[in-house]
């Protein structure tokens, strides 16, 4: 007889609906008279998040099932579950926050009938990005919201929103926050924003060239913090050497202020900063249409630069590096001062 009354196993959609109901309860705020009930609900919510995670990622016994993942994803984005999770995250315990972060990350990649429906949802709820980015100002939330943010900007339209928003200016400060882990997380997001979607990044850099590189130079490349300088000069090289940013690169290497900063970085005691700075400096040297003031700076510093490059070696053999260095040395040695226009 007992078997007749067994409850039917819950479908992935049921689990999402239950999660949503619990989140609505949590979002209502504390009710002093019902503290015990609230604790029970929180434990139930933690258990549900573990179940959702296990459907999406699989577990030690089974791989994820495509159909179950699709059902879960469809129900998740049918209503406001993502919004509730993001808003309620500060009220959850650490383990549950970690599970939520992993679930949200995974859902950005789940397809339903060949569509990334997370992208459609985020386009309609783009203000959620404002909450995630603002998370960098909250020590407890920063790493969870940062990880979610990086997954959300896999979608080009979402990345474009962030690039074109006022938030981009805040990253220059977040990257220098005193908390090392949060600063590193913000730097990872910043790099993702500036390298993942080539055409969107090229458009952003062209339209925002003046303020962006003024901030980049003064706050990052000339930062007193060694790690900030090293990451910034490496990312600068990645951006300028990307073919889609060729117009921005041409503009960057025509500026005497930019050249002065790069020459200072070449003289750093850190070998890794010197090497990354060289990859950008070689673009100034290779430019076949150098403005007269760039030529005069290179000519005035010619002997110092040639001495520097004579001793400039990598720890292990690198043919490409040696070829680039030889080319730079030839370009500088052959320079003739230009008359100004």
pLDDT digits (tens, 9 = 90+) for 139-165: 999 999 999 999 999 999 999 999 999
Flag whether pLDDT at 30 surpasses 80.
Answer: no
Which of 120-129, 173-182, 265-274, 316-325 is least confident?
A: 316-325
Mean of pLDDT values over 312-321: 85
Q: State both tokens at 188.
A: 């990872």
What is the average pLDDT score of the chain?
92
| Most confidently modeled range among 41-45, 192-196, 312-316 | 192-196
pTM of the model: 0.91
Q: Number of folded domains in the chain?
A: 2
Q: What is the domain range of residue 312?
A: 220-341
> Does 121 reside within a domain?
yes
DSSP secondary structure string for all residues of 276-304: HHHHHHHHHHH-TT--HHHHHHHHHTHHH
The per-residue pLDDT for 37 is: 83
- Name the 3-class secondary structure at 175: coil
Please, is 301 exposed, middle or buried when counting C-beta atoms within 10 Å of its C-beta (0-12, 13-18, 19+)? middle
The per-residue pLDDT for 332 is: 94
> Does 325 reside within a domain?
yes
> Does 321 reside within a domain?
yes
- Boundary of a domain, candidates 125, 147, 167: 125
> Does 207 reside within a domain?
no
Mean of pLDDT values over 115-141: 96
Give CA–CA dist 196/124, Å, rounded: 22
Q: State both tokens at 25.
A: 């309860």
The per-residue pLDDT for 5 is: 54
- Boundary of a domain, candidates 108, 125, 142: 125
Mean of pLDDT values over 268-286: 95
The per-residue pLDDT for 263 is: 96
What is the CATH number for 264? 1.25.10.10
Largest separation between any pair of C-alpha atoms in the chain:
101
Quick one: what percent of the chain has pLDDT higher than 90? 84
Give CA–CA dist 114/64, Å, rounded: 17
- Boundary of a domain, candidates 89, 107, 125: 125
pLDDT in tens, 71-112: 999 999 999 999 999 999 999 999 999 999 999 999 999 999
Mean of pLDDT values over 46-54: 95
Flag whether pLDDT at 273 surpasses 90.
Answer: yes
DSSP designation for 32: G
Mean of pLDDT values over 271-292: 94
Mean of pLDDT values over 193-203: 97
> Does 36 reside within a domain?
yes
Q: How many residues are recorded in the chain?
A: 341
Flag whether pLDDT at 33 surpasses 80.
Answer: no
E-assigned strand segments in 190-315: none
Q: At a CB cut-off of 8 Å and minimum separation 6, what does 94 contact?
A: none
The per-residue pLDDT for 61 is: 83
4 and 108: one domain?
yes
The region that residue 114 occupies, defined by phi over 0 for left and psi between -120 and 50 for alpha, beta otherwise, is: left
């Amino acid at each position: 007889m007992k078997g007749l009354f067994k409850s039917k196993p819950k479908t992935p959609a049921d689990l999402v609906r239950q999660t949503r109901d619990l989140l609505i309860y949590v979002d209502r705020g504390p009710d002093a008279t019902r503290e015990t009930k609230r604790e029970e609900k929180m434990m139930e919510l933690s258990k549900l998040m573990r179940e959702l995670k296990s459907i999406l990622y699989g577990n030690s016994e089974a791989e994820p099932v495509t159909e179950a993942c699709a059902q879960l994803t469809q129900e998740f984005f049918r209503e406001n579950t993502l919004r509730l999770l993001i808003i309620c995250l500060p009220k959850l315990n650490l383990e549950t926050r970690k599970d939520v972060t992993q679930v949200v990350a995974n859902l950005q990649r789940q397809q339903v009938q060949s569509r990334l429906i997370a992208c459609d949802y985020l386009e309609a709820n783009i203000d959620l990005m404002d909450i995630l980015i603002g998370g960098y100002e909250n020590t407890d939330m920063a790493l969870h919201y940062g990880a979610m943010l990086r997954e959300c900007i896999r979608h080009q339209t979402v990345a474009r929103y962030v690039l074109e928003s006022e938030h981009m200016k805040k990253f220059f400060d977040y990257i220098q926050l005193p908390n090392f882990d949060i600063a590193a997380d913000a730097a990872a997001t910043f790099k993702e924003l500036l390298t993942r979607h080539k055409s969107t990044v090229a458009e952003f850099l062209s339209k925002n060239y003046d303020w962006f590189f003024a901030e980049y130079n003064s706050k990052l490349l000339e930062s007193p913090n060694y790690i900030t300088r090293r990451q910034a000069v490496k990312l600068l090289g990645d951006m300028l050497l990307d073919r889609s940013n060729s117009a921005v690169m041409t503009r960057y290497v025509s500026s005497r202020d930019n050249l002065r900063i790069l020459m200072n970085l070449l003289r750093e005691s850190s070998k890794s900063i010197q090497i990354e700075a060289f990859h950008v400096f070689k673009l100034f040297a290779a430019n076949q249409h150098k403005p007269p003031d760039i030529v005069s700076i290179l000519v005035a510093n010619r002997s110092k630069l040639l001495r520097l490059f004579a001793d400039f070696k990598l720890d292990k053999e690198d043919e490409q590096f040696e070829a680039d260095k030889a080319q730079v040395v030839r370009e500088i040695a052959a320079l003739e001062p230009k008359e100004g226009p």
